[in-house]
Amino acid sequence: MQRAVLIVLGLIGVLMMLAAACGGDDAAPTFTRGPATAVPSTAVPSTTEPVATTAPADTVTPADTVAPSLGGESLTISVDGDALSFDTSNFEVSAGSEVVLIFDNVSTINQHNWVLVNDGTKDDVAVRGTGAGPGNDWVQPDDPDVIAHTSLLDAGTSGEVRFTAPAAGTYQFVCTFPGHNLGMFGDFVVTP
């Protein structure tokens, strides 16, 4: 058991060094925390294997752009190849809308997930997820700051999550695989 913990901690350290070596914007975003909103979330697939894909979706939006929901409900996101970054940095949906987010993990080497969290909590959620381990998709069960999340997706696979958009405000999305939260995050804006 101690050996497994040491191995996981070692991997986390290596991933953090790799993430730091990849560079990126050194300016950390500033967030304010809003009230927690309890929203039912359902991860699909929940305990089944992710569905394999052969090519990324055609509806992917380049990084640093706002990706409005298609028809107010369908969103697509991917990763920037094998880099530790999402290909979309912002989403905008209407409060109370039913959202279907499809996540295509086009990486050839990395596992990723997509986790929607309360504003300003992405790093805390990632730390708690590290403690929860890979058996929980790197997400602490019943974490009060998690609104919705996909399962952990192997390289070259895709998955989806369906949920009701929370109250109006700005939220964050993040990959909680250990160390990925440093560069894999964005804003999830919910309009009235």
Place of tokens 């060094």: 17
Q: Give whole-number Cα distances, 27 to 48, 65, 135, 183, in Å.
A: 38, 18, 33, 11
Q: State how far the Cα of 119 lies from the Cα of 36, in Å rounded to an integer.
A: 9
Nearest to 112 by CA among 139, 146, 143, 76: 139
pLDDT cut 70: percent of the chain above it: 62
Domains of the chain: 43-191 (2.60.40.420)
* Chain centroid to CA 10: 23
Q: Which amino acid is at 146?
A: V
Radius of gyration of the chain (CA): 16
pLDDT in tens, 153-190: 999 999 999 999 999 999 999 999 999 999 999 999 99
Indicate the pTM of the whole model.
0.64
Mean pLDDT of 19-33: 37
Of 54-58, 75-79, 89-93, 107-111, minimum mean pLDDT range = 54-58
